[in-house]
């Protein structure tokens, strides 16, 4: 088994990572179960003079960022351009801020710091949108190893992606990987559409994409959880607000992609149209703070708090507060019990790569008396968790009806749905995700690739091609459309 060099934006020691949630838990799993090194940002911001070296603690290698890098690379390009665009939110993307140079600069610096640790038979697995240019920067330094990239967030429709002024540069960066992994089949289809229509790639008969003379493999690897972390949960009795009170649980970082205002509105609508449930149900929303120095996050917090206050003011009683909102992080060891004692898991993002909370909620249920998952059709998880109550989060009435149907669902139906959901959670768990990605990375064909990474000369040729290959100007309609309409115009 080759050693895996994991690279992700945020790195922490393995014990803390296992308690953190999301990407960190998944990477800590890979780091614990394989020969590995894990490299990335320590989370510290230090003056440039002190930010230049690697700190090694066992198999974990960390680097601080300087204040300028934190501002331009992390808060700037990664979280004010790429995050909103990949979630289809062009309206909040800050294209004009000029952070791209800093984004490339940090990737170049990280590549230079990582390169001395890479041995010839390692495979390198790069994670997420912060690090798209890392492979090209490693190639420049002569790294010949297999390098795979995994995107944890969704890939948007191609017309959205081409709004990024530097989209073609990002495509060249992707072409320096051997394998690009995405969460869902819908993401794979969006990325291939973009590579074909946005930068004139061609799909080969075996399903790879020929791009700037490279052959790139693109595939979906839905991420999962370690379900045993959740199945042993006991009900958290301290949570019950009153006898017979039924709880709806939401656990989401306070992010504008998570659909929190829409969720609060739907709950308000449910109370409005179902007065018999007032005093019977409480919505507990755990929404820990995230990226608070980005403007769009301050806006969503204000909006949510105003809305929550107005719903509580309108329906609340002296002995019943309908929305129980916690803007702090909750210890991970308590989450399983909270999920298990909640009758509904409400996971209603406007867009989400996967959404692990949906899987955690399912895994924590009592199979004899399970709760119901209400799930957005726009979460990647909806591709696998088809037995959830799938709703459109933009449709407040439909979501409110989903809450009522979940509360009224007979036990037999809850059990049947839960059984199917649990099978899906087990099928794609964190171990199978890691195994599937790494074994495909090791299998990717390179013998027929005219620009593979076999020698320093082939790297030089490939990089020159990537950098010099010009692109024809984009046409307004897609090439696929032109193929079905001769001449490219509607007749
Ligand atoms: C990205 C993609 C994709 C949440 N609040 C608390 C807490 N959490 C934990 C949850 C869960 C994790 O954080 C969140 O994971 P998600 O998948 O829901 O969302 P993102 O953070 O946006 O993650 C996403 C994921 O990457 C993995 O590929 O699924 O689509 O956006 O594990 O339990 N944990 C603790 N306290 C909290 O208050 N301890």
Q: Whose CA is nearest to atom 21 of ligand 1?
A: 22
Residue with tokens 């198999």: 59
DSSP 245-297: -EEEEEE--S-TTS-HHHHHHHHHHHHHH-GGGTTTEEEEEE-----TTSHHH
Residue range 369-411, pLDDT digits in tens: 999 999 999 999 999 999 999 999 999 999 999 999 999 999 9
Which one, of 371, 320, 370, lies nearest residue 344 by Cα? 371
Residue 482 burial class via C-beta count within 10 angstroms: exposed 0-12, middle 13-18, buried 19 and up: middle
Ligand 1 pocket, Cβ-based, cut-off 6 angstroms = 21-23, 152-153, 223, 251, 253, 286, 288, 329-332, 335, 352-357, 360
Catalytic position from the list 152, 167, 418, 428: 152
Residue range 5-14, pLDDT digits in tens: 999 999 988 8
Question: Could you tell me how far CA 291 lies from the centroid of its own chain?
Answer: 15
Summarize the confidence of residues 213-222 as an average pLDDT.
93
Minimum-distance ligand 1 atom for the alpha carbon of 290? 21
The model's confidence at residue 484, banded by pLDDT at 50, 70 and 90, is: low
Whole-model pTM: value is: 0.93
Q: What are phi and psi of 257, to 5 degrees?
A: -85, -10
Task: Please determine, for residue 233, whether its predicted confidence score (pLDDT) is greater than 70.
Answer: no
Residue range 299-323, pLDDT digits in tens: 899 999 999 999 999 999 999 999 9
Which one, of 324, 328, 333, lies nearest residue 234 by Cα? 333
Among 122-126, 197-201, 229-233, 260-264, which stretch is predicted with the lowest mean pLDDT? 229-233
Residue 383 burial class via C-beta count within 10 angstroms: exposed 0-12, middle 13-18, buried 19 and up: middle
Q: Look at residue 49 in the predicted model and tell me its pLDDT.
A: 85
**Most distant CA pair in the chain: distance in Å?**
75
> Would you state the structure tokens that stand for residue 469, as one six-digit string?
């290959």
Ligand 1 pocket check: which of 8, 9, 22 to mutate, most ligand atoms within 8 Å of Cβ?
22
Residue range 235-259, pLDDT digits in tens: 665 655 566 799 999 999 999 999 9
Q: How far away, in angstroms, is 231 Cα from ligand 1 center?
A: 18
Task: Please determine, for residue 480, whether its predicted confidence score (pLDDT) is greater than 70.
Answer: no
> Would you state the structure tokens that stand for residue 184, as one six-digit string?
């869902």
Q: What are phi and psi of 393, to 5 degrees?
A: -65, -20
Question: Could you tell me the CA-to-CA distances from 56 to 53, 267, 491 in Å, in that order?
Answer: 10, 48, 64
Cα gap 354→192, rounded to integer Å: 19
Residue with tokens 């994409």: 209
- Dihedral (Cα; 3, 31, 257, 372), 10-degree rounding: 120
Considering the chain, what is the average pLDDT of its residues? 91
Summarize the confidence of residues 100-114 as an average pLDDT.
97
Catalytic position from the list 352, 401, 429, 449: 352
Q: Look at residue 451 in the predicted model and tell me its pLDDT.
A: 58
Greater confidence (459 vs 210) lies with 210
Q: Whose CA is nearest to atom 12 of ligand 1?
A: 22
Summarize the confidence of residues 175-184 as an average pLDDT.
96
Summarize the confidence of residues 432-443 as an average pLDDT.
95
Minimum-distance ligand 1 atom for the alpha carbon of 360? 33
Element (H, E) at 68: helix 67-69
């Amino acid at each position: 088994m080759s050693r895996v060099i994991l690279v992700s934006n945020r790195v922490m020691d393995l014990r803390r990572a296992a308690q953190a949630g999301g990407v960190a838990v998944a990477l800590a799993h890979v780091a614990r179960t394989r020969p590995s090194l894990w490299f990335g940002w320590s989370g510290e911001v230090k003056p440039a003079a002190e930010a230049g070296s690697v700190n090694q603690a066992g198999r974990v290698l960390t680097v601080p960022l300087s204040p300028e890098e934190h501002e331009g690379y992390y808060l700037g390009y990664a979280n004010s351009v790429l995050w909103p665009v990949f979630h289809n939110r062009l309206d909040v993307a800050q294209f004009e801020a000029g952070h791209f140079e800093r984004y490339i600069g940090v990737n170049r610096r990280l590549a230079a710091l990582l390169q001395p640790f890479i041995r010839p038979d390692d495979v390198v697995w790069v994670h997420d949108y912060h690090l798209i240019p890392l492979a090209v920067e490693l190639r420049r330094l002569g790294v010949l190893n297999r390098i795979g990239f995994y995107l944890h967030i969704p890939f948007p429709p191609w017309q959205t992606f081409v709004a990024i002024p530097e989209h073609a540069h990002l495509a060249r960066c992707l072409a320096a990987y051997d394998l690009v992994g995405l969460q869902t089949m819908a993401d794979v289809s969006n990325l291939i559409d973009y590579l074909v229509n946005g930068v004139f790639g061609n799909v080969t008969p075996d399903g790879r994409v020929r791009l700037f003379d490279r052959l790139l493999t693109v595939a979906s690897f839905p991420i999962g959880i370690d379900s045993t972390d959740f199945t042993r949960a006991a009900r958290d009795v301290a949570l019950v607000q009153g006898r017979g009170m039924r709880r709806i649980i939401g656990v989401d970082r306070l992010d504008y992609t998570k659909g929190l205002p829409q969720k609060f509105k739907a709950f308000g609508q449910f109370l409005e149209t179902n007065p018999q449930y007032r005093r019977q149900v409480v919505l507990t929303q755990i929404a820990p703070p995230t990226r608070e120095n980005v403007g769009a996050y301050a806006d969503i917090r204000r909006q949510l708090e105003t809305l929550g206050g107005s719903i509580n003011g309108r329906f609340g009683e002296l002995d019943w507060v309908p929305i129980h909102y916690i803007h702090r992080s909750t210890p991970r060891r308590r989450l399983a019990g909270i999920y298990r004692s909640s009758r509904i898991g409400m996971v209603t993002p406007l867009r989400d790569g996967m959404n692990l909370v949906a899987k955690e909620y399912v895994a924590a249920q009592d199979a004899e008396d399970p709760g119901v998952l209400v799930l957005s059709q726009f979460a990647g998880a909806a591709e696998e968790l088809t037995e959830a109550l799938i709703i459109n989060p933009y449709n407040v009435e439909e979501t409110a009806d989903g809450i009522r149907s979940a509360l009224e669902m007979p036990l037999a139906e809850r059990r049947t749905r839960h059984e199917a959901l649990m099978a899906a959670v087990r099928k794609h768990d964190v171990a199978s995700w890691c195994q599937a990605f790494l074994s495909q990375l090791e299998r990717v064909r390179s013998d027929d690739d005219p620009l593979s990474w076999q020698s320093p000369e082939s790297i030089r040729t490939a990089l020159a091609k990537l950098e010099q290959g010009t692109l024809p100007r984009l046409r307004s309609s897609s090439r696929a459309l032109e193929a079905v309409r001769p001449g490219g115009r509607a007749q």
